[in-house]
Structure formats: C-alpha cells, structure tokens
A and B are shown apart, each in its own frame.
Chain A
C-alpha cells in the first residue's frame, strides 16, 4: 500500500536525532510491549508480514505521531482482535470474559525463549523452479500500486537495476501478509544507480541495493552483454 510507512525519498521529516548512551528501552512499558508482541506471535496466528502490514494500516497522521512501541501495541491489539484471541471489550475493561476458558499453557513459556531467539524463523523455502535471473542481468521493476502489503517501495518502482546476488527462494510477503499463503519466490539483491532513482542531483557513483522478489520485475530479461 502507498502508505506513509513507505518513507524512502521523502523530505521534511526533520533532523536525525541520535541519543547519547541510549537505553535499550526508554520505559518499562516499551519492554513489555516488545515482549508481549513476541510472546503472542508464538501462537502462530499471524506472521511477520501480517504484523508489518497491520502497523502500515495505522492512519498516516497517527503513524507519524506515534512512537515505535506505540505502533507495535496498536498493531498487536488489532491482530489479537482479528484472530479472536481477545475481544475489544476485554481490552477496554482489562477483564477476561467468561466465554472462553483460559489456555492451559501459554505458547511461549520462559523455557522456550532461548530457543526462540537462537533459532529464529528462517524465511527461505525450497523451490523447484530455477531463478529466472542471474547476476549481471538488467531488470526493470514493475509499476505496481497494490492496496495491500508490498516490499517494493514506491521509489524503486518502474526503475532499471542490475541483479547483484541471487538469494534463493523466500516467503513472498505480499501474499503472506494477507494470509493468502507463503508462495515462495526467488529473491534477488538488485543494484540501482542513485541517479536512476533520484535523477541528476544524486551522486554519480552512489547506488542503492534492495532485496526484491521475482514478481516485482517486468518479465522480459536483458543480459548485460555490454559489460
């Protein structure tokens, strides 16, 4: 979706404000939100792409005003309601309704935390089809404007780039975020000249690399025979 989260290339967001000796969390509630999001994710009712998309759905004016963990909290509440783990009434009152008995055991217990963080959840998948593109191939990204989740930022649409690496097949976020399946596709690192993205004002030597899925490219392939 063409949301305000898709910030690459925007002006007017103000100066970068690094904080000296920044703590990991600025308040206890931030730490609890971070941990609750991870612990609720362990139920497997949603996936990382759906979580990201839920935060993208925060209205733009609010998105820009909210702190990072406020966005995490807002996204979590919506997902929990959608997946019927809690009701809005329960959130409002802070009390569990009597309709659903408590779960016998949480999905993430303290003993499983070390293995959750150590193993993670790899997003690569086996795929029978060979990648259509090879390093050095010139591609053009598609001009797409989906209303749902995508990881092709606006600034890199309808742009010419060169395949730099072939990563293998990975879960496709655009469908996974909508609970329409993982649909793994080949993923590539693509090098774009800064001037292709931003015009003459950009540095002649500079470039931007993005990790992009095969279906983000126009189907025709051009071998980079000139180089």
Chain B
C-alpha cells in the first residue's frame, strides 16, 4: 500500500482532465436550465480564494493577546467577539474559542466529515479533511501532534474537540515569549492557520525578527 492510497487530495488519482470536463459540462447544463448564475459561482470562488482566510482568525487571536477584556469576551461568547472584528457567517454561526495554556492544549477535528470555521480560517487544508487526521486525532492526539513536529510536556492535558454539530472551534494559541514589543498587527503575523487548529504553536518572535 503506498502512502498515496488514502490521500484525499485530487493530485494523486483520477485523470483531472476528465473531472474538469465533467464539471464544466455540469456547470453549462445548470446555467442553461437557469439553476445557477455563473457570476455567483465566480463571486463564491473569489470570496474564499481572496477575502476569507486564516488572516481573519489571526486578527482575532492577536486582539485577544493584547486586550484582556477582548480575550474574556472571546472565551465567553466567541461568536459575538469575532463579529466585533467584522467576521462571521456561513459555517461560523456558532463559535467557541478555546485557549491553550502551559497546562492545556486544544486540538480541533471533525471525525465525521470536515467541519471547519470558515469565516475565520477559510477553507480547510486537504490534510484536515483526510482519513489519516480524521481517524487518529481523537485516538492518538500526541502521535498526531508529533507528526506535525509538536511534542508536548507529558503533563499537559490534551483536549480534542470533535466538531460533531454546528458549533465551530477556534484554538487561541499561547502568545510566544519575547513578543512584548510587537504591535497587534505584528503579532497577527505569528498566528498561523495550524496554530488555530491546534496542530502547531504560534510562530516564535524570532520568526518575525528574521523577516
């Protein structure tokens, strides 16, 4: 069995040209029947390629790092706190934020499909939607984190959040040490998508100093 047998990506199997033709034919059929507006499809694609993505979530986390009152609101009513920054809507209607600390590490998965907080993280990466992550995140979170290069103190409690309903989860990673001098905008640059899923820490301060 090759490593690719269970890859959920499209780049290892099936002739994409065939799929491309089928999808193009379907789109033109649906347009002909008045069922879809191609301009609406363009707008949807543009929204998720260019307007909605993990930079939104990074702004939320950076605000929580610099503003304790905001962090309290975020951990109490994440949907409202995220809306304060102008984010929300489809697949982020009901948000909960969970905070990583030296003693607690949070990790988000959807074992049954691929639920993901779209308004703050955009569309999920292929690995998040794939069998290897969905099967093992709940069973062996430490092994999964090690695969991402993150080894936690054995004393750290791991909380895995399986998104089985319409509640969507944002992990607030720990603020890296030595970032007291950074502005909110600079801090946001340290907040990666993976750190908000819980498979990584935020980037260290040096990552920005080097840049």
Chains A and B come from one and the same complex:
yes
A residues in contact (CB < 8 Å) with B: 5-11, 13-19, 22, 24-36, 38-40, 43, 48, 52, 55, 64-65, 67-70, 73, 77, 85-86, 90-91, 94-96, 100, 102-110, 112-114, 116-124, 151-153, 155-156, 165, 167, 170-171, 173, 187, 189, 194, 197-198, 202-203, 205-213
Say yes or no: is B179 at the interface (Cβ < 8 Å to chain A).
no
Q: Which of A19, A67, A110, A121 has the most CB of B within 10 A?
A: A67
Task: Assess the A120–B88 pair: CB atoms within 8 A.
Answer: yes
Check B158 against A28 for contact (C-beta < 8 Å): no
Would A153 and B44 be within 8 Å (CB), given that A206-B141, A207-B157 are in contact? Answer: no
CB contacts under 8 Å to A, within B115-152, are 119, 122-123, 125-127, 129-139, 141-142, 144, 147-148
Q: Is A36 within 8 A of B138, CB to CB? A: no
- Shortest Cβ distance from B104 into A: residue: A205
Asked whether any CB of chain A lies closer than 8 Å to the CB of B182, the reply is no
Residues B167 and A167 in contact, CB atoms below 8 Å apart: yes
The A/B interface has a contact count, at CB < 8 Å, of: 305
12 A–B contacts from the bound complex (CB under 8 Å): A6-B112, A8-B134, A11-B135, A17-B3, A36-B36, A39-B37, A48-B166, A67-B13, A110-B37, A155-B111, A165-B96, A208-B160
Is there contact, CB below 8 Å, between A13 and B20? Answer: no
Give Cα A100–Cα B35 distance, bound, in whole angstroms. 12
Does B20 lie within 8 Å of A43, measured CB to CB? Answer: no
Chain B contacts to A: CB under 8 angstroms: 1, 3, 5-11, 13-14, 16, 19-20, 22-30, 32-37, 39-45, 47-49, 52-53, 88-94, 96, 111-114, 119, 122-123, 125-127, 129-139, 141-142, 144, 147-148, 154-167, 194
CB distance from A89 to the nearest CB of B (A): 11
Contact assessment for A14 and B10 in the assembled complex, using a CB-CB cutoff below 8 Å:
no
A95-B29, A113-B40 known; A19-B91 Cβ under 8 A: no
B40 x A14 contact (CB < 8 A): no
Q: How far is the CA of A208 from the CA of B157 in the complex (A)?
A: 11
Smallest distance from the beta carbon of B124 to chain A beta carbons, Å?
9
Inter-chain CA distance A31–B16, complex, in Å, is 13
Q: Which residues of A contact B157 (CB under 8 A)?
A: 205-207
Contact of B41 among A6, A39, A153, A165 (CB under 8 A): A39
In whole angstroms, how far apart are the Cα atoms of A122 and B95 in the complex?
Answer: 11
Residue contact A122 to B139, C-beta cutoff 8 Å = no
**Contact of A102 with B33 in the complex, beta carbons under 8 Å:** yes
A120-B90, A205-B157 known; A96 vs B29 contact (CB < 8 Å) = yes
- Residues of B contacting A85 in the complex (Cβ-Cβ under 8 angstroms): 33, 35
Known contacts A8-B134, A123-B93, then 4 further A-B pairs from the complex at CB < 8 Å, ordered by chain A residue? A7-B112, A70-B14, A119-B89, A120-B91
- A107 and chain B: residue at smallest CB distance: B35
Bound form: Cα–Cα A18–B47 in Å: 23
* Interchain CB contact under 8 A, A209 and B161: yes
A67 to B94 CA separation, bound complex (whole angstroms): 28
Complex CA distance for A198 and B48, rounded to whole angstroms: 37
Q: Are B34 and A104 in contact (CB under 8 A)?
A: yes
Contact assessment for A6 and B111 in the assembled complex, using a CB-CB cutoff below 8 Å: yes
> Which among A31, A119, A155 has the greatest number of chain B C-beta atoms within 10 A?
A31
Contact present for B136 and A13 (CB under 8 Å): yes
Across the interface, do A96 and B33 meet the contact criterion of CB distance under 8 Å?
Answer: yes
Select B48's contact among A24, A27, A68, A86, beta carbons within 8 Å.
A24
Of all chain A residues, the one with the shortest Cβ separation from B28 is: A94
